[in-house]
Amino acid sequence: MKSLDKVILKIVETKAPKNVRELVQLVQEEVDANLEDITGEIKDLQQEGLLVLEEPMTPTTNFSDFLSSRKSLWFWVTICLALFAFISISFFPETGTPLSYLRYAFGFVLAVFLPGYCLTETLFPRKDSMDDIERFTFSVGLSFAVTALVGLFLGFTPFGLTLTTALLTLGSIVIVLAIAALNRKYKAEE
């Protein structure tokens, strides 16, 4: 009798089954083994790194499906964080209450992370273009650059650099860049 792990690896290499169910059927045709033994061996091979199982990707057919899929969850989180920052900075008191700490936290996220994150997602829409640490580093660095440029730009406008103008400008930039990144990610997936 052939070794079960060798049979599984040979079938994966030669016949390239589309899913685990098809793999199990092909193995059962090749050797006489029960379902539990086969699935247990597949799990062992996966844990050893000899076999890679991936979640099936369901293709999105249109933009509204993409917008409601898990792939756009980052977009909704970004928009919610930007809105919470706007609400907390606009309506929470500056000092003296525990709510002021929320104001500072959301303001920090708005100024130091969100603009760069949205710009990074726009420039590099594919997930495999960079790893998470590089993405985070780019996000923080680009946020400092965007926030500094917004401050410089607002300093030369008739409105001036105030909390309200900075908040509205940074919030608008985050929303516009998030929509642009969402569009680029959708097109990259097609």
Least confident of 18-27, 113-122, 134-143, 145-154: 18-27
Residue of 150, 78, 62, 81 whose CA lies nearest to 121: 78
**pLDDT level of residue 23 (50, 70, 90 thresholds):** confident
Residue 108 or 15, more confident: 108
Residue 1's pLDDT is 37
How many percent of the chain have pLDDT more than 70? 95
Residue 154's pLDDT is 95
Residue 159's pLDDT is 92
Cα→Cα distances 109→70, 119, 122, 164, Å: 23, 15, 18, 16
Q: What is the average pLDDT value for the chain, to the nearest integer? A: 88
Residue of 79, 31, 61 whose CA lies nearest to 181: 79
Q: Are 26 and 17 in contact (CB under 8 A)?
A: yes
Residue 56's pLDDT is 58
Task: Report the b/e string of 90-128 with b at 16+ CB within 10 A.
Answer: eebeeeeeeeeebbeebbebbbebbbbbbbbbbebbeee
**pLDDT level of residue 87 (50, 70, 90 thresholds):** very high
Residue 151's pLDDT is 95
Cα→Cα distances 36→39, 64, 98, 182, Å: 5, 41, 55, 43
Whether residue 77 is predicted with pLDDT greater than 70 in this model: the reply is: yes
Residue 32's pLDDT is 83
Residue of 21, 176, 187 whose CA lies nearest to 114: 176
- Position 87, amino acid: I
140 CB burial (10 A radius; 0-12, 13-18, 19+): middle
The structure's pTM equals 0.68
List, for residues 125-182, the tens digit of each pLDDT value: 988 889 999 999 999 999 999 999 999 999 999 999 999 999 999 999 999 999 999 9
Whether residue 116 is predicted with pLDDT greater than 80 in this model: the reply is: yes
